[in-house]
Chain A
Amino acid sequence: MFDLTLFFISAVLTVIGAIMVITTKDLMHACIYLLASFLGMAGLYLTLGADFVAAIQLLVYVGGVVILMVFAVMLTGGPHAQKQNKFGMIKTALMGNIRTYTIGGLTAVVVLLMMVKLYISIFKNYTAGELPNYLPTVERIGKSLITDHVLAFEISSVLLLGALIGAAIIARPRKNRIN
């Protein structure tokens, strides 16, 4: 009973949030709808019994990524930044030309075909499943991280190191060209 309620609330939050993200014109509102979508996804993970993943979704996406996006929006001067520079030129780029629309359209068709192929195989072999019994996932994730997947665990640290240094270098203020 509650499983269904949780699923429907999460699904509605996710889908409506995602639709609002792409339809709203205000960047900051889009961030908030994205927050709703992330919260809904955390709920969906819960319905699948992945409690740790849901908690990490809260910790990293709701708590981190949304704030980072909001900061990034502020870096552009806010969603209501002046669209013209001091010479009266419009700063917003054109939305695209024939070439970009062609490439984009072809990509969309290819992705759509792939998804249709995937979904057909899913619907053919569809059987209503039972929810698995509730088992704590943290221990199993931890054990596999330190035994089978220890290399992935350590490599991810190197990946994050690269991200950290890259972020620091990109964000570093460039020296003004005075001379």
Chain B
Amino acid sequence: MTDTIVSYLAKFGPFKDLLEFLTESYGANGPTLFAFLIFLVGVIIIVTILSTIGGLGTYAERKISADMQLRMGPNRVGPYGILQFLADGVKMLMKEDIVPKDVDRLLFFIAPMLALTGVFGTLAVIPFSSGFTLTDLNVGVVYLIGISSLVGLAIFLGGYASNSKWSMLGGMRGASQIISYEIPIVLSILAVVLLSGGLSFGVITRAQGGWPHEWFIFHNPFTFIGFFVLFIGSLAETNRAPFDLPEAESELVSGYHTEFTGMRFAFFALAEYIEVFVVCGVTAALFLGGYQVPFNLGGDTIWGQLLQLGAFFSKTLALYYFVIVIRWTLPRLRVDQLMTMCWKYLIPIALFNLVGAGVWMWLFKGKSLFVLLFKSGTAAAGIH
């Protein structure tokens, strides 16, 4: 049975009572109704939290860039300007919704919708903790890659529907960049799947441990490179600098969302910042041990879950911080450099990694580098 938040919560007293009550009242439909209620509440909570994180992401972006450039950054709304994103949201809501004359109205409406839908769809399988995963699908990784490719289509449609030259260029660049960088991402994920033997995030996370030497990033030299391939690919997938060609401010005005105003723009921005969090979370789950805590402290209890949430969020937010710092450090790539980087460097490296990881698994029976070193160390010590 697939682990879901429902199967986790059903172990606890009040939820068990609710389940029994619903089963008595509605018969066979009781468990479905129970699942529906839990999922509904869970979905709303997770979407709210992630939207807040996305909003805070815009604030963090400005604050960190201000720090790096010796400026103040937002400091008016709330303490240290932390409520700036709410003010921005209200401003966006009040802005006039300018729809240029020549746009494709249907697609102009659908593009932000697809972007947000694609990002929200990924949230279903993000492993926040062993209990609080909405649903740990057997094919979670494939599902995540598939549903997040809606965002690439949304970026293209945003550029296309605007009927503006800047937007069109940005949209074309964005779509081709996103599909190109999907390949190295998929290939480095394949290497992780090969090590863990399952396509669900739960299996992949449980194959790792709480301590850094049990993470897949330090499992063998190939996964160490694979982590960086995945991370670079994720940067390109989310259109973050140095791969922000679809929205290159200095050449394309604002790229694919030049013509979008008000809430339509806000949804594009929100989708982008949530997607950054999602790819950081996925990277953390695949390579950095995800929600695993040392000694499996707390176990299945509520405190254990909170510790796991803390581990997951601290790893993810550390990566998030790193992504923001990269944006304000590195210059933007040229389009041909971008494609060369993907097709001539990342994809061959990722393929090599995949084969290398397979050979490592076969040669050393799946043992990690640390185990091999440690074992040979003790063996040598035993001889003396």
By a beta-carbon cutoff of 8 Å, the part of chain A in contact with chain B is 1-2, 26, 28-29, 32, 35, 51-52, 54-59, 62-64, 66-67, 70-71, 74, 134, 136-138
Asked if B57 lies at the interface with its beta carbon under 8 angstroms from chain A, I say no
Known: A32-B157, A70-B156. A63 touches B145 (CB 8 A): yes
Interchain pairs with CB closer than 8 A, number:
80
| Smallest CB separation, B179 vs chain A (Å) | 6
- With a cutoff of 8 Å between Cβ atoms, the chain B residues found around residue A63 in the complex are 145-146, 149-150, 152, 179, 182
Question: Is there an interface contact between B153 and A70, defined as CB atoms closer than 8 Å?
Answer: yes
In the complex, which residues of chain A have a beta carbon less than 8 angstroms from the beta carbon of B199? 138
Residue in B29, B36, B145, B175 whose beta carbon sits within 8 Å of that of A71 in the complex: B175
Interface of chain A, main secondary structure: helix
CB nearest neighbor in B for A66: B153
Q: CB distance A59 to B142 under 8 Å? A: yes
Nearest CB of B to A79, in Å: 9
Q: Which residues of B contact A35 (CB under 8 A)?
A: 153
A-binding segment of B103-111, B247-255, B284-292: B103-111
Bound CA–CA A59/B144 (angstroms):
9
Give the chain A neighbours of B175 by CB distance below 8 A.
67, 70-71
Query: Is the contact region of chain B dominated by helix, strand, or loop, or is it mixed?
Result: helix
- The minimal Cβ–Cβ distance linking A54 to chain B, given in whole angstroms, is 8
How distant is the Cα of A51 from the Cα of B2 in the complex, in angstroms?
Answer: 12
Query: How long is the Cα–Cα vector from A66 to B160 in the complex, in angstroms?
Result: 14
Q: Which residues of A contact B179 (CB under 8 A)?
A: 63-64, 67
Q: Let me know if B139 and A138 touch, CB within 8 A.
A: yes
Is the CB–CB distance between B150 and A2 below 8 Å?
Answer: no
Residues of B within 8 A of A55 (CB): 137, 139, 142-143, 146
A46 to B335, CA, bound (A): 39
Count B-side interface residues using an 8 Å CB cutoff: 33
* A9-B218 Cα distance, complex, nearest whole Å: 44
B7 CB-CB contact with A under 8 Å: no
Kindly provide the distance from the CB of A25 to the nearest chain B CB, expressed in whole angstroms: 12
Contact B143 A58 (CB under 8 A): yes
Question: Which listed residue (B2, B33, B36, B152) contacts A67, Cβ 8 A?
Answer: B152
* Chain B contact residues, CB within 8 Å of chain A: 1-2, 29, 32-33, 35-36, 104, 106-107, 110, 137-139, 142-143, 145-147, 149-150, 152-153, 156-157, 160, 172, 175-176, 179, 182, 198-199
Query: Could you tell me if B146 and A67 are in contact, using CB atoms closer than 8 angstroms?
Result: no
Known contacts A51-B138, A55-B142, A67-B156; A32/B32 CB under 8 A? no
Question: A58 to B29, Cβ gap below 8 A?
Answer: no
Distance in angstroms from A48 CB to nearest chain B CB is 14
Measured between alpha carbons, how far is A32 from B110 in the docked complex, in Å? 9
Min CB–CB distance B149 → chain A (angstroms): 3
Given contacts A28-B104, A55-B139, A63-B149, 10 further A-B contacts (CB under 8 A): A1-B29, A2-B36, A29-B106, A58-B149, A62-B150, A67-B175, A70-B156, A71-B176, A74-B160, A137-B138
With the chains together, A56 CA to B147 CA distance in Å?
10
Q: Which 3 A-B pairs have the closest CB atoms?
A: A58-B146, A63-B149, A55-B142
* B146 engages A59 (CB within 8 Å): yes
What are 30 residue pairs bridging A and B, where the CB atoms are less than 8 Å apart in the complex? A1-B33, A2-B32, A2-B36, A26-B104, A28-B104, A28-B160, A29-B106, A51-B138, A52-B138, A52-B139, A55-B139, A55-B142, A56-B142, A56-B146, A58-B143, A58-B146, A58-B149, A59-B145, A63-B149, A63-B182, A67-B152, A67-B153, A67-B179, A70-B153, A70-B157, A71-B175, A71-B176, A74-B160, A74-B172, A134-B2
- Chain A nearest Cβ from B354, distance in angstroms: 14
A62 with B149, Cβ < 8 A, contacts A56-B142, A67-B179 known: yes
